[in-house]
Amino acid sequence: MPGPQNLPDLVESIYDAGIDPWRWNDAVAGIRDFVGGKACGVFSKDSISKSGVTHYYCGADPHFIQLYADTHSKFDPLTVLPPHGKVVTVPELVEFEEYRKGRFYQEWMQPQGCSDAANVVLEMSNPSCPVMMTVLSGRRMVDPGMKHRLSLLVPHASRALLINRAMTAQLTLETALADVLDNLTAGIFLLDAFCRLVHANSAGRVLLAADDVVRTVAGQFVTSSADANRTLRDAFAGRDGAPPGASSDAMPLLARTGERYVAHMLPLSSVLRNAGERVVDAAGALLVRKVSLGGQSYGELIARTFELTPAELRVLLSIVEVGGIPETAAALGVAETTAKTHLHRVFAKTGVSRQVDLVKLAAGFANPFVN
């Protein structure tokens, strides 16, 4: 059995498992050897159903691990849990002679060549399903030395499991947020104070690949509009006196094909790591969305919202999708004076006075999710 001089290395391996769960089996093997048992396992047990799941183990036949999950977790001595962090043996939990006559001992412990075990509750973030550790002693009973050695490791194993839980929760949140962002039609770009690209969602990467309305030049994010680029540089660097990225104004962008886009800046105070693990500051986020009403249903929604007539709606859609009055008149086959009359009525009903503001208003009705 390894001596106490191995304790620092073993503690280090336990914390390594806290960061990388794949290392728990090695840590469990080290715990078994240090304590002096035959087998060791980390498992959770539902306090209501009494069902148990073994997460990491060593020294036990997989057949018995599966047998415990299927049947024998309901018969083990841990019917009443010991206090959190306290190492207890089987005789401290139940009347030992009665236990030796029961199914758990007869069908699970004895066939493995074991009689006693040291048990401890390690983690109770979920009180109804605590995480525990057990060290099976083999033929001999658990002695005070074994209990003491296990007790030295309990605080470290408990903290390592809490680290696992916190990291898992964070990764789950990050994955969920990434999925949400990647299902938006708007391109979302995180930029630092020098307008360098930190991150882009799926739609953003598509826009960058098109190399039209937005692109990166020598690592710096730029748009197709010189005015928008100046606004971005001033806002993200804080030269306009406002917090980075703080702006309520939408910036119109025009692609080479004539398609219209609208960009919005949002403040963002965060520290991120890029793929090279270099810490970077994201000063703000830029949302770039193509102006498209996404089908007739969105046109109908705008018409209902502002009580537009069919003719007024057609003019609004044409202004958004095609361009100004001459283009709209030609596309609809009406006189320019007629198009102007309908446009002025649209202005009156929507409360805007410029065609560019009408484009921004219409963009707000677009479906933000990927079709």
pLDDT tens digits along 334-355: 898 998 999 999 999 988 888 8
Residues 6+ apart with CB under 8 A from 85: 120, 121, 122, 154, 155, 158
Cα separation of 315 and 55, whole Å?
64
- Mean pLDDT, the chain, rounded, equals 83
Q: What is the pLDDT of residue 37?
A: 93
Cα separation of 73 and 302, whole Å?
61
Lowest-confidence segment of 30-39, 76-85, 117-126, 179-188 by average pLDDT? 179-188
Cα separation of 84 and 219, whole Å?
53
Pairwise pLDDT comparison (328 vs 87), residue with the higher score:
87
Amino acid 320 reads V
Cα separation of 203 and 182, whole Å?
7
Judgement on whether residues 276 and 352 belong to the same structural domain of the protein: no
Q: Are 265 and 235 in contact (CB under 8 A)?
A: yes
Judgement on whether residues 273 and 319 belong to the same structural domain of the protein: no
Q: What is the pLDDT of residue 261?
A: 84
The number of folded domains in the chain is 3
Q: What is the pLDDT of residue 283?
A: 78
Q: What is the pLDDT of residue 64?
A: 93
Lowest-confidence segment of 22-31, 345-354, 359-368 by average pLDDT? 359-368
Task: Give the Cβ contact number of residue 325 at 10 Å.
Answer: 18
pLDDT band at 269 (very low <50, low <70, confident <90, very high): low
Place of tokens 């283009």: 327
Q: For residue 184, what is the DSSP state? A: B
Pairwise pLDDT comparison (163 vs 268), residue with the higher score:
163
Question: For the segment 219-260, what is each residue's pLDDT rounded down to a tens digit?
Answer: 789 998 888 888 888 887 764 444 444 444 578 888 888 787
CATH of the domain at 267: 3.30.450.20
Identify the three-state secondary structure at position 286.
Answer: strand
Nearest one of 364, 359, 363, 330 to 346, comparing CA atoms: 359
Judgement on whether residues 101 and 137 belong to the same structural domain of the protein: yes
Q: Among 66-70, 190-194, 290-294, name the most confident range.
A: 66-70
| Cα angle 119-121-125, degrees, rounded to a multiple of 5 | 160
The percentage of residues in the chain with a pLDDT greater than 90, rounded to a whole number, is 37
CA-based R_g, the chain, Å: 33
The rounded Cα 316 to chain-centroid distance in angstroms is: 40
pTM (two decimals):
0.54
Q: Residue 371 domain-assigned?
A: no
Q: Residue 259 domain-assigned?
A: yes
Q: What is the pLDDT of residue 366?
A: 61
Q: What is the pLDDT of residue 249?
A: 59
In which domain, by residue range, is 211 found?
A: 185-290
Mean pLDDT for 290-314 is: 75
pLDDT band at 49 (very low <50, low <70, confident <90, very high): confident
Judgement on whether residues 73 and 154 belong to the same structural domain of the protein: yes
Judgement on whether residues 339 and 359 belong to the same structural domain of the protein: yes
Judgement on whether residues 164 and 268 belong to the same structural domain of the protein: no
Q: What is the pLDDT of residue 241?
A: 47
Q: Residue 180 domain-assigned?
A: no
Q: What is the pLDDT of residue 3?
A: 42
Could you tell me whether strands 52-58 and 88-89 are parallel, antiparallel, or unpaired per DSSP bridges? unpaired
Nearest one of 131, 55, 53, 120 to 92, comparing CA atoms: 120
